[in-house]
Chains A and B, each alone.
Chain A
Amino acid sequence: MNEIVLLGLNHTTAPVALRECLAFSNQEAVESLAQLGKDPAVDELLIFSTCNRVEILMTSNNISAAVDAAKKHISTFKRIHPEEYEKALYTLQGEDAVKHVFRVASSLDSMIIGEPQILGQIKEAYRVATENKTSGVILNRLLHRTFFVAKKVRTETGIGGSAVSISYAAVELGKKIFGSLEEKKVLLIGAGEMAELAVEHIIQNRASDIYVANRTFRRAVALADRFQGKAVHFEEIQDVLKSVDIIISSTGSPSFIISHEMVKSCMKMRKNRPIFFIDIAVPRDIDPAVNRISNSYVYDIDDLKSVIDENIEERKKEAIKGERIVDEAVIKFMEWYQNLEVIPTIVSIKNKLDTIVKSELEKTRSSLKHLPEPDLKTVTRMTDSIIKKFMHDPTLFLKGNGCHGDKAFYLDAARKLFKLDD
């Protein structure tokens, strides 16, 4: 019988340097599927690699041989000595492997719990495996269950609920202030990855005009180009404050760029329309006193971080519900998997025939009331021997070598043919 085995390492077991070293690009994954898939110990195979993990999922008759083959493949393919990565490696079998796959896809095992990309990445890895014909009955079933479980965890728990990145947290806050970010005007002061990401997220929420200010005007023009916005001089900020709604600031300035006075004086012109400052810079660009002006809100990097921390706590609580959903799914999957043995399948088919024959006999008997008891026994003997004869060939086939190498496939087909699993 083929067993499920998983070999992997992730962000908790391996440092980033090692993960970088072992990560498989798409092309490498395809090559590896072909090479490792040829190994006689490896039956079904799926390789899943992201920046936070590498997982090799296999089914095999001979687990230790398959694991050795996989390790050997990693060493030769990646030109790395086994000693360097072996400590970071985990090997899971059967139920543990199934649970691990479910948890990873549901993002319960992610660095940021609930992050949504992982499911898409697993789907892609599965697609590659099916294209290269390295997945079979067991992995097909396992992966389909995985997608189902992951979706269920996402919809039934709040695991992906509130923002856990600075830029998303800023967007969420903006929505609590403005209702929607549609038609809102944005000013970006300075530059920086986090600030630019926040601007992008705000644009995705259909903000209208984007202004970019930078000490180096050339840089402002370049960024404005990217966001299809308008570059403004640093000296124009005061003027722009009269019309923009959201200001994202991220400069290297040692002193405040936006003072209490500047905001106070523009509020009148704004007719007190709310204004929201997101200060990503350290040291800060916006005087914290600006938060005291009515209808003006200032969040600095620490404020946003504490929002995120709270949300992460929230997600961890929700993850407990997710674990329960995963546990349930593991039990169901293992039921199916264990029935995929030869004896239970043969017994199930025989039982099904028995019940059909019995109920038909009952029906016939009620219309044959004149039939004496001994004759009835003869008829029963006859049906029994029909069942036996009928079962003979399938039993030989499933037990014997008729389906050798691909037993799981025929067992699954048999179970489907006789509808044994519902």
Chain B
Amino acid sequence: MESVILIVILFYAAGTAFYTAYFAKQKEIWHQTGYYLLLAGFLIHFLNIGIQHMQTGIFPAGNLNENLSIASGAVAGVYLLLRYKFNIKILGFFAAPLSAIVLMISFFLPSGPSPEPSPVFKNIWLIIHVIVIFIGEASFALACGVGILYLAQEHAIKTKNHGFFYKRLPSLELIDSTGYACIVVGFTLLTIGLIIGSVYAKFVWGRFWSWDPKEVWSLISWLLYAALLHQRLTMGWRGRKAAIMSIVGFAALMFTFFGVNFFLTGHHGEFTK
């Protein structure tokens, strides 16, 4: 399994290299190659996780390494879908290295105390809870990347500095609508994930909500994104404000993912050490 992950890392890294070349030189062939490398990496990664799950009967989300690996695959997968839907090529320059780096961290990080393969990881609802939340978070990660692209392009247009970024980045409209799509998808999945999680908690611990730090921070992130969507729909919060909010929202999400594990304790803690 280890060597398979190494191959996936290689694919993601090669994809990163080609997307970087595309960003610098703007040659269509670079982007095409990067796209197929990323796609190949993702398929292998996806199959690997699937096979691991079938062999052990346990979904590999038991420790931080496994979680990061899933997060990396989710980012690649969501980007591939976005690319298909919106044709926003330059985002690969953000998504490919993110997938590669996260997977590398997962691979080289010394495994934490692998908890007893808990029977809860055989439960289909828990697996859905984990997968849905990860895809949602990957969407938010890309929304954050899109937000950065937006700020760069907006800055170029406002300051009339038509240099490097202006030529390479797509139109504000395309960046903004891609970001919006990411947020909508991420928010929908996060909502579904949270509901499934709390229903599941009711069965396991007898209560929907236990003020576990991870639950609280997830709720905070959820509220941030809810506010962003609400403002966009009612007040037309778009463009710059939406871009900044998607970056802030993602920061909160990152804290939910890492910070809570390192600084606070709770019943989610053991899975992510």
Contact = CB atoms under 8 A, between A and B. Distances in A.
Is B one of A's binding partners? yes
Interface of A: 173, 175-180, 268, 270-274, 291, 294-295, 297, 299, 303, 306-307, 310
A272 B237 contact: yes
B62 to A, nearest CB: 44
A310 B162 CA distance: 8
Given A179-B171, A179-B174, A271 B236 contact: yes
B172 interface: yes
Contacts of B238: 271-273, 295
Given A271-B238, A273-B238, 15 more contacts: A176-B171, A177-B157, A177-B173, A179-B170, A179-B172, A179-B173, A268-B235, A272-B235, A272-B237, A272-B241, A274-B172, A274-B173, A294-B239, A297-B157, A306-B160
Given A176-B171, A307-B162, A310-B162, A295 B239 contact: yes
A176 B157 contact: yes
A416 to B, nearest CB: 39
Q: Interface residue tally of chain B, by bracket?
A: 10 to 19
Interface in B153-180: 153, 157-158, 160, 162, 166, 170-174
Contacts of B157: 173, 176-177, 297
Residue among A173, A273, A291, A295 with max Cβ neighbours from chain B (10 Å):
A295
Chief secondary structure at chain B's binding surface = helix
A176 B237 CA distance: 20
Residue among A179, A268, A291, A303 with max Cβ neighbours from chain B (10 Å):
A179
Nearest to A306: B160
Nearest to A174: B171
A294 B173 contact: no
A295 B160 contact: no
Contact of A178 (B158, B166, B171, B235): B171
A396 to B, nearest CB: 58
Interface in B132-189: 153, 157-158, 160, 162, 166, 170-174
Interface in B171-211: 171-174
B158 A176 contact: no
Contacts of A272: 235-239, 241
Nearest to B159: A291
B177 to A, nearest CB: 8
Nearest to A178: B173
